[in-house]
Protein backbone atom coordinates (compact mmCIF):
# COMPACT_ATOMS: atom_id res chain seq x y z
CA UNK A 1 0.00 0.00 0.00
CA UNK A 2 1.21 3.49 -0.77
CA UNK A 3 1.54 5.93 2.05
CA UNK A 4 3.67 7.98 4.39
CA UNK A 5 5.61 6.38 7.22
CA UNK A 6 6.82 8.42 10.16
CA UNK A 7 9.12 7.00 12.79
CA UNK A 8 9.48 6.70 15.65
CA UNK A 9 5.96 7.13 17.00
CA UNK A 10 7.32 8.45 20.32
CA UNK A 11 10.67 10.15 20.88
CA UNK A 12 12.36 11.59 23.93
CA UNK A 13 15.05 14.23 23.83
CA UNK A 14 17.57 15.11 26.49
CA UNK A 15 18.73 18.66 27.04
CA UNK A 16 21.32 19.73 24.48
CA UNK A 17 20.64 16.80 22.21
CA UNK A 18 19.69 16.80 18.52
CA UNK A 19 17.10 14.27 17.41
CA UNK A 20 15.97 13.28 13.93
CA UNK A 21 12.43 12.39 12.91
CA UNK A 22 12.03 10.17 9.88
CA UNK A 23 9.48 10.63 7.09
CA UNK A 24 9.34 8.26 4.11
CA UNK A 25 6.77 8.13 1.32
CA UNK A 26 6.25 5.67 -1.51
CA UNK A 27 3.64 7.73 -3.32
CA UNK A 28 6.14 9.20 -5.80
CA UNK A 29 5.16 12.67 -4.58
CA UNK A 30 7.36 15.65 -5.41
CA UNK A 31 6.37 17.88 -2.49
CA UNK A 32 6.84 17.11 1.20
CA UNK A 33 6.02 19.13 4.31
CA UNK A 34 6.69 19.18 8.04
CA UNK A 35 4.08 20.62 10.39
CA UNK A 36 4.13 21.06 14.13
CA UNK A 37 0.95 20.61 16.15
CA UNK A 38 0.46 22.09 19.61
CA UNK A 39 -2.79 21.86 21.59
CA UNK A 40 -5.23 24.56 20.53
CA UNK A 41 -2.91 26.02 17.88
CA UNK A 42 -3.66 24.00 14.79
CA UNK A 43 -0.77 23.01 12.56
CA UNK A 44 2.13 25.31 11.77
CA UNK A 45 4.54 24.82 8.87
CA UNK A 46 8.19 24.18 9.74
CA UNK A 47 9.83 23.36 6.39
CA UNK A 48 8.77 22.19 2.98
CA UNK A 49 10.38 20.81 -0.16
CA UNK A 50 8.96 20.74 -3.66
CA UNK A 51 11.89 19.02 -5.33
CA UNK A 52 14.92 16.94 -4.41
CA UNK A 53 17.88 18.92 -3.05
CA UNK A 54 15.74 22.00 -2.45
CA UNK A 55 13.72 23.09 0.58
CA UNK A 56 12.22 26.26 2.03
CA UNK A 57 11.61 27.59 5.53
CA UNK A 58 8.08 27.73 6.79
CA UNK A 59 6.64 29.89 9.57
CA UNK A 60 8.57 28.37 12.50
CA UNK A 61 11.86 27.04 11.07
CA UNK A 62 14.14 28.28 13.87
CA UNK A 63 15.75 25.39 15.74
CA UNK A 64 14.97 22.86 13.01
CA UNK A 65 16.83 21.56 9.96
CA UNK A 66 15.89 19.28 7.05
CA UNK A 67 17.42 17.55 4.05
CA UNK A 68 15.94 16.20 0.82
CA UNK A 69 18.55 13.95 -0.75
CA UNK A 70 15.99 11.48 -2.08
CA UNK A 71 12.49 11.99 -3.39
CA UNK A 72 11.11 9.47 -0.89
CA UNK A 73 12.68 10.88 2.25
CA UNK A 74 12.43 14.18 4.14
CA UNK A 75 13.96 13.85 7.64
CA UNK A 76 13.54 16.61 10.22
CA UNK A 77 16.21 17.32 12.82
CA UNK A 78 15.17 19.08 16.01
CA UNK A 79 18.30 20.79 17.25
CA UNK A 80 19.27 21.86 20.74
CA UNK A 81 18.51 25.43 19.62
CA UNK A 82 14.79 24.59 19.67
CA UNK A 83 13.96 25.47 23.26
CA UNK A 84 10.40 24.20 23.30
CA UNK A 85 10.38 21.07 21.15
CA UNK A 86 7.60 19.18 22.92
CA UNK A 87 4.88 18.75 20.28
CA UNK A 88 3.29 16.38 17.78
CA UNK A 89 5.10 16.46 14.43
CA UNK A 90 3.31 15.62 11.21
CA UNK A 91 4.80 14.96 7.80
CA UNK A 92 2.77 15.32 4.62
CA UNK A 93 3.31 14.82 0.92
CA UNK A 94 1.63 16.05 -2.23
CA UNK A 95 2.04 14.87 -5.80
CA UNK A 96 -0.65 16.55 -7.81
CA UNK A 97 -2.24 19.95 -7.39
CA UNK A 98 -5.67 18.33 -7.81
CA UNK A 99 -5.11 15.86 -5.00
CA UNK A 100 -5.03 16.61 -1.27
CA UNK A 101 -1.99 16.36 0.92
CA UNK A 102 -1.46 12.95 2.54
CA UNK A 103 -0.36 12.84 6.16
CA UNK A 104 1.66 10.37 8.19
CA UNK A 105 0.59 9.22 11.65
CA UNK A 106 2.94 11.62 13.41
CA UNK A 107 5.77 11.55 15.93
CA UNK A 108 5.25 12.75 19.48
CA UNK A 109 8.40 14.38 20.85
CA UNK A 110 8.89 14.95 24.56
CA UNK A 111 11.69 16.29 26.73
CA UNK A 112 13.33 14.11 29.37
Q: Yes or no: say if 22 and 11 are a contact pair by the CB < 8 Å rule.
A: no
Site mask for another protein (CB under 8 A), range 63-102, x = bound: ---------------------------x-x-x-xxx-xx-
Least distance CB 93 / another protein (angstroms): 10
Q: Yes or no: say if 104 and 6 are a contact pair by the CB < 8 Å rule.
A: yes
Task: Give phi and psi for 7, each to the nearest 5.
Answer: -150, 150
Q: Is the dihedral of CA 6, 18, 40, 45 positive or negative?
A: negative
* Residue 13 is a binding residue for another protein (CB under 8 A): no
Give the residues across from 7 on adjacent strands.
Answer: 22
Cβ proximity to another protein, 7 vs 18, nearer residue: 7
Footprint of another protein (CB under 8 A): 4, 6, 30-31, 33, 35, 40-45, 48, 50, 58, 90, 92, 94, 96-98, 100-101, 103-106
Amino acid sequence: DGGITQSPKYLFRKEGQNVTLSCEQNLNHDAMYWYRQDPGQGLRLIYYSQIVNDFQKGDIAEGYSVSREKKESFPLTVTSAQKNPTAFYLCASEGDSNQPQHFGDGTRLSIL
